[in-house]
Structure formats: C-alpha cells, structure tokens
C-alpha cells in the first residue's frame, strides 16, 4: 500500500511538471504570435507611409522640378506621419519618384536576440507619379 501511495505521489509531481512545461510553451507561442503580428503591422504602416511620401514627393517634383524640394517634402511627410520610419533613399526618374523607407518593429522577444533581430527590420519601397497627368 505504501509503495502504491509513493508511486501516485511521483506521478502527480510529474503531471504538475508537464502542465508547467505546456504552459511555458503556450506562453512562448503567444509571445511569438504577438511579435509576428507586430512585424506585420509595422510593415503595413510603413507601406502606407511610403505610399503617402512617394505621392507627396512626386507632386512636389512635378510642380518644382527640384529633387531637393521633393526630398524635403518627403522628410516632412514622414515627420507628420508620426511613424518611426526613416528615409533611406529617394530616386527621381522622369516623373516618377521612388522612396525606400526603413523602420524597426517593436517586439517583445524577437528583437532581443542577434540571430532574430533582422526579422524586426522593415524595409518598404513605393513608387508614385503625380496625379495631374
């Protein structure tokens, strides 16, 4: 009888450890899901900002013919957006303006390790031409 009781105590401790391990795995999966969602949201926001920036810069270039004025408008549009993105590159080719924005997604876990840090880097490119023709 004592051996049976001892065996049940050992098994109940094992069940508790297995439950704890599964809870830790579940918590890790939730954090990873939040990080992936954060990265996808950052990509969406950066793409939206890049579209607005490219269009504003293209409109300005069409009006002024000045690449520096287009660049200044692009930088101003980024500031107005409130996004953490920064202008990496702007290229004027004929009437089209192409902008490249970079940003970093805020994550709970993925941005904390050197081997996963690159996953949080968001780079988007957008090209626009003025609407006036």
Q: Does residue 132 have a pLDDT over 90?
A: no
Check: pTM over 0.75? Answer yes or no: yes
Distance CA 129, CA 116 (A): 36
What is the per-residue DSSP string for 13-35?
HHHHHHHHHHHHHHHHHHHHHHH
Q: pLDDT band at residue 14, thresholds of 50, 70 and 90? A: confident
pLDDT in tens, 76-129: 999 999 888 999 999 998 889 999 999 999 999 999 999 999 999 999 999 999
- Grouping H, G, I as helix, E, B as strand and the rest as coil, residue 113 is coil
Q: Does residue 31 have a pLDDT over 90?
A: yes
Phi, psi of 54 (to 5 degrees): -65, -40
Distance CA 96, CA 30 (A): 43
């Amino acid at each position: 009888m004592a051996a049976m009781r001892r065996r049940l105590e050992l098994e109940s401790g094992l069940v508790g450890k297995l439950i704890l391990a599964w809870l830790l795995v579940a918590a890790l999966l939730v954090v990873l899901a939040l990080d992936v969602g954060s990265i996808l949201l950052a990509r969406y926001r950066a793409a939206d900002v890049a579209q607005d920036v490219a269009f504003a810069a293209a409109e300005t270039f069409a009006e002024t013919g000045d690449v520096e004025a287009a660049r200044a408008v692009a930088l101003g549009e980024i500031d107005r957006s409130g996004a953490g993105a920064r202008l990496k590159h702007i290229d004027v080719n004929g009437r089209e303006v192409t902008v490249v924005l970079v940003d970093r997604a805020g994550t709970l876990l993925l941005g904390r390790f050197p081997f996963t840090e690159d996953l949080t880097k968001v780079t988007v490119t957008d090209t626009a031409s003025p609407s006036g023709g």
